[in-house]
Amino acid sequence: MIATSWIQFMIHDWIDHLEDTQQVELRAPHEIASACPLKSFKFFKTKRISTGEPDMKFGFLNTRTPWWDGSVIYGNNEEGMRRVRAFKEGKLRIGGDGLLEHDEKWIPISGDVRNCWAGFSLLQALFVREHNAVCDMLKEHYPDLDDEKLYRYARLVTSAVIAKIHTIDWTVELLKTDTLLAGMRVNWYGLLGKRFKDLFGHICGPVLSGLVGLRKPNDHGVPYSLTEEFSSVYKMHSLLPDKVILRDITNSTNPNYECPPVSQEVPMTEMTGKEGERRMSKIDMEQMLVSMGHQASGAVTLWNYPSWMRNLIPHDINGEEVPDPVDMAALEIYRDRERGVARYNEFRRNLLMIPISKWEDLTDDCEIIEALSEVYGEDVEKLDLLVGLQAEKKIEGFAISETAFFIFLLIASRRLEADRFFTTNFNPKTYTEKGLEWVNKTETLKDVIDRHFPDMTAKWMRCSSAFSVWSAPPDKTNYIPLYLIPAT
């Protein structure tokens, strides 16, 4: 569940489509309406913007900054950025209990407050603590820095830590193969590896020394942005469970890393929005981290959409509930169609992947084939992208489809190599000597959790990555260099 909260934490750093003021209504066809929690629902259209380009006449606006700039905790505009700052020693506001502060309406004080839930705001709080710890460290080494400078340097450092964790820790857990582990580490450190780069710096090209620290950003002739396809493949709400399983961590010792006993099962509906924030304020931060660490997330596959999201009260951009509930499962399909995202087969062609010509090319699951034939007949071109991504037979070790993986891989690299803060300006002058050292020494989310809860992981976490289920065995030590292991 930490991996699930993490990806929501990242989505809320990167993308949110601007809505129109015009509402539309979706109605379930008569024949299936009895099986739908909402027979009809209203929502705002995505705002269409004319581009003036002959070959692409319209597009959409992103209300979040697409850069890897930590806007999920720092905010997306002047007003949002001021709201979260303590204006003392560069720090951000945080509650006495280590969790986010809230306004009088119980909306969290954070960079992004839309459609939040307890696990997501927990990560926001963790990284506010990280930012504040960076401020303390910088102040100690550079006592002359004022509030503004401390804030800016600490923001750069914390954002880079987030980007690094996503690249070499989260992505690797999601796509658990040696090839991916090697690929993602090459993106950050290059083929020559961390030790070489730490010793000699970025002295070779992108392959040998990695994308991070390149002398110049490279946008391949396309101004940096996150694409519609990217937003589509990240619609992974099936990761969310029906309930959160809280664990009792009062046991004083745990030598065998046993999974702690269940203390309470809370429906997700009580962990979302303002109610979720109120609940979270009564749960200890360590207890929540250990509980999420021991709960597996849902599989990104068909027939696993959380039922509670089919009658969901969404938030507006300020974290206020909107009056009309939505059926998210239906809405997600509508959004791709509304935004002109290619359907599954065309999407694959655009990625130079082999399209399917019959349902059997997609999956060997007879139940899925039967359902697809019932909905789409034999017309494979009509298959909606999201349905195809979830029906597709997965590569062993992958939590997502190969089709989605192509987009992941492409954007994972572009996000680093097109950003000056990870290329030209990834240096001591921009980050400070000690700031860059902080980024270089932090490898994983576990490192961050260890920093703020030094004894907790030692007692409860058996696995190697905080994104795994914590009672799982640690990764085996591999004495053969990663690049010499044959791909599986």
Point out the annotated binding site: 237
Q: Which of 135, 145, 236, 383 binds ligand HEM (CB under 6 A)?
A: 236
Choose the binding region for ligand HEM from 4-12, 71-79, 407-415, 472-480 (rule: CB under 6 A): 4-12
**CB contact at 8 A, 229 and 404:** no
Structure tokens belonging to residue 164: 């690094």
Burial (Cβ within 10 Å: 0-12, 13-18, ≥19) of residue 4? buried
Q: How far apart are CA 245 and CA 264, in angstroms?
A: 6
Residues 27-46 that bind ligand HEM (CB under 6 A): 43
Residue 106 CB, shortest distance to ligand HEM, in Å, is 16
User: Per CB under 6 A, does 65 bind ligand HEM?
Assistant: no
**CB contact at 8 A, 121 and 10:** no
Q: Write b or e for each residue in 72-86: b if 16 or more Cβ atoms lie within 10 A of its Cβ, otherwise e.
A: bbbbbeeebbebbbb
Catalytic residue of the set 74, 151, 189, 234:
234
**CB contact at 8 A, 99 and 125:** yes
Q: How far apart are CA 64 and CA 18, in angstroms?
A: 9
Residue type, 270: E
Residue 154 CB, shortest distance to ligand HEM, in Å, is 27
Binding mask 243-272 for ligand HEM (x = CB under 6 A): -----------------------------x
User: Per CB under 6 A, does 386 bind ligand HEM?
Assistant: no
19 forms beta bridges with 46
User: Per CB under 6 A, does 399 bind ligand HEM?
Assistant: no
234 given a catalytic annotation: yes
User: Per CB under 6 A, does 121 bind ligand HEM?
Assistant: no
Which residue's CB is nearer to ligand HEM, number 217 or number 325? 325
Q: How far apart are CA 476 and CA 457, in angstroms?
A: 19
Q: Which of 202, 237, 446, 462 binds ligand HEM (CB under 6 A)?
A: 237
Q: How far apart are CA 19 and CA 157, in angstroms?
A: 32
Which residue's CB is nearer to ligand HEM, number 232 or number 468? 232
Q: How many residues bind ligand HEM (CB under 6 A)?
A: 21
Which residue's CB is nearer to ligand HEM, number 250 or number 318? 318
312 forms beta bridges with 326
User: Per CB under 6 A, does 98 bind ligand HEM?
Assistant: no
Which residue's CB is nearer to ligand HEM, number 318 or number 478? 318
Q: Which residues does the annotation place in the binding site for heme b? A: 237
What are 441-444's contacts with CB under 8 Å, separation 24+?
442/161, 442/164, 442/165, 443/164, 443/168, 443/169, 444/165, 444/168, 444/169
Q: Which of 235, 348, 414, 452 binds ligand HEM (CB under 6 A)?
A: 235
Cα angle at 416 between 414 and 421, to 5 degrees? 135
What are 193-198's contacts with CB under 8 Å, separation 24+?
198/440
User: Per CB under 6 A, does 335 bind ligand HEM?
Assistant: yes
Choose the binding region for ligand HEM from 3-11, 125-133, 185-193, 444-452 (rule: CB under 6 A): 3-11
Say how many residues make up the chain.
488
Q: Which of 1, 2, 3, 15 binds ligand HEM (CB under 6 A)?
A: 15
Q: Which of 72, 122, 240, 362 binds ligand HEM (CB under 6 A)?
A: 240
59 forms beta bridges with 49
Residues 306-325 that bind ligand HEM (CB under 6 A): 314
Choose the binding region for ligand HEM from 47-55, 183-191, 227-235, 390-398 (rule: CB under 6 A): 227-235
Residues noted as catalytic: 234
Binding site for ligand HEM (CB under 6 A): 4, 7-8, 11, 15-17, 43, 115, 117, 231, 234-237, 239-240, 272, 314, 331, 335
